[in-house]
Amino acid sequence: MLETDKLFAGSIPENYDRYMVPLIFEPFAADLARRGASFSPKAVLEVAAGTGVVTRALAPELSPHASYVVTDLNQPMLDYAASRQARDSRIQWRQADAMALPFEDAAFDLVCCQFGAMFFPNRPSAYREARRVLKPGGHFLFNVWDRIEENVFADDVTNALARMFPNDPPRFLARTPHGYHDTALIRGDLEAAGFSGVAIETRAEQSRAPSPRIPAVAYCQGTVLRTEIEGRDPGKLDAATDYAASAIAARHGGGAVAAKIQAHVIVAVA
C-alpha cells in the first residue's frame, strides 16, 4: 500500500458515499450490523468507519443504553459520516488511528470495521490494538474484499485503465482494497495478535447499478483511484471515467447492470 492510498479527501468522501456505498458497501454493512447486534454489546467501537454506512445500519440495532464510538483516520470522511447520521446521544465521533487507539484497555465489548483492514500499514499491530481495547471474550468483527477477480466491476475498471495508461497502469484497486484476501494470512495475523476462535466466512453479493456509468464514476471518482488517474494526467479524469463506463457497457450491456462482489467476513474472540 502507498501512503497516498489513505488520502480520502476533497470531493472523494461525497462521491464515495453517493456512488460506492449503494454499489458495493450497503449489503455487507447490513450483514455486519446483523452480526454485531447478535452479540448484544453494551460498548461498541467502530474503526475506519468511512462515511458511516455501518454506523447507520448498526446503531438502530443496539440497545438504547449502549455506547457507540465511531472513528476514522480521515477527518473529512468522519465529518461526512456524522452529517449523514440521525441525531443519537449514544454515538461519539472521534478521529483516531487504528494503529494507536486512544482508548483504555478492555473498554469495549465489540470492535467492528468494514473494509478498513486493507489500509492498515501493519495489520498485526492494528489487531493487537483492537484486542487491547476489547474486554476478555469480546468480539472483533470485520470484513475485507476478496481478490479483485471475484469483484467484477472493480476488475473491469482496473483492466480498462490499464489499456488507457499502458505504461503506468493505475493499480490502486488491486493493490489495496483487494490486496488482502489470503484467508490463511488473515488468520495468521489475528492469531499473532493474540486472538482465538477465528472464524472466516466468504460471502458473495450482487453489485447493481442503473447504468454502466455509475460503477465507473464510483471507482474512478469516489476512491483514491481518482488521485492515481489525475497523477498520470490531470486532464483525463473525465475521459478515464468515460472509458471505464464504455468497458463496463461492452461487457454487461448499456442499461441496468449487475455483477458479483465477494468478501471475507471475520469474527475473532479476544
The larger pLDDT score, comparing residue 178 to residue 7, is at 178
Alpha carbon of 65 to those of 36, 75, 110, 165: distances in Å?
A: 16, 27, 15, 53
> What is the C-alpha to C-alpha distance for residues 178 and 176, in angstroms, rounded to an integer?
5
Q: Which domain holds residue 253?
A: 3-269
- Give the residue among 111, 144, 115, 149 at the shortest CA–CA distance from 130: 111
- Confidence class for position 14, pLDDT limits 50, 70, 90: confident
The larger pLDDT score, comparing residue 77 to residue 25, is at 25
The 10 Å CB-count burial string (b at 16+, else e) for 22-41 is bbbbbbbbbbbbebbbeeeb
- Give the residue among 7, 16, 75, 78 at the shortest CA–CA distance from 221: 16
| The predicted structure's pLDDT at residue 19 | 87
- Which grid coordinates are listed for 30? 447490513
- Confidence class for position 17, pLDDT limits 50, 70, 90: confident
Task: Kindly tell me if the per-residue pLDDT of 15 is higher than 90.
Answer: no
* Number of domains comprising the chain: 1
The answer to whether 121 and 157 have CB atoms below 8 angstroms apart is: no
pTM of the predicted model, to two decimals? 0.92
Task: Kindly tell me if the per-residue pLDDT of 97 is higher than 50.
Answer: yes
How do residues 112-154 score in pLDDT, each as one tens digit?
A: 999 999 999 999 999 999 999 999 999 999 999 999 999 999 9
Q: What is the DSSP letter of 243?
A: H
Alpha carbon of 239 to those of 155, 202, 221: distances in Å?
A: 18, 35, 12
> What is the C-alpha to C-alpha distance for residues 38 and 50, in angstroms, rounded to an integer?
23
Summary mean pLDDT of the chain: 93
Q: What's the sign of the alpha-carbon dihedral 105, 107, 111, 116?
A: negative
Percent of the chain with pLDDT over 70: 95
Residue written as grid cell 482496473: 158
How do residues 173-221 score in pLDDT, each as one tens digit?
A: 999 999 999 999 999 999 999 999 999 999 999 999 999 999 999 999 9
When pLDDT is averaged across residues 47-64 and rounded to a whole number, the result is 96
How do residues 19-52 score in pLDDT, each as one tens digit?
A: 888 999 999 999 999 999 999 999 999 999 999 9
CB count in 10 Å sphere of residue 79:
15
Residue written as grid cell 446503531: 59
Task: Kindly tell me if the per-residue pLDDT of 94 is higher than 90.
Answer: yes
- Confidence class for position 12, pLDDT limits 50, 70, 90: low
Ranges of H-type helices in the chain: 12-15, 26-38, 53-58, 75-84, 123-133, 152-164, 172-175, 183-192, 213-221, 225-232, 237-252
Q: The domain spanning residue 218 has which CATH number?
A: 3.40.50.150
Percent of the chain with pLDDT over 90: 88
Instruction: Give Cα 102 distance to the centre of its chain.
Output: 21
- Confidence class for position 1, pLDDT limits 50, 70, 90: very low
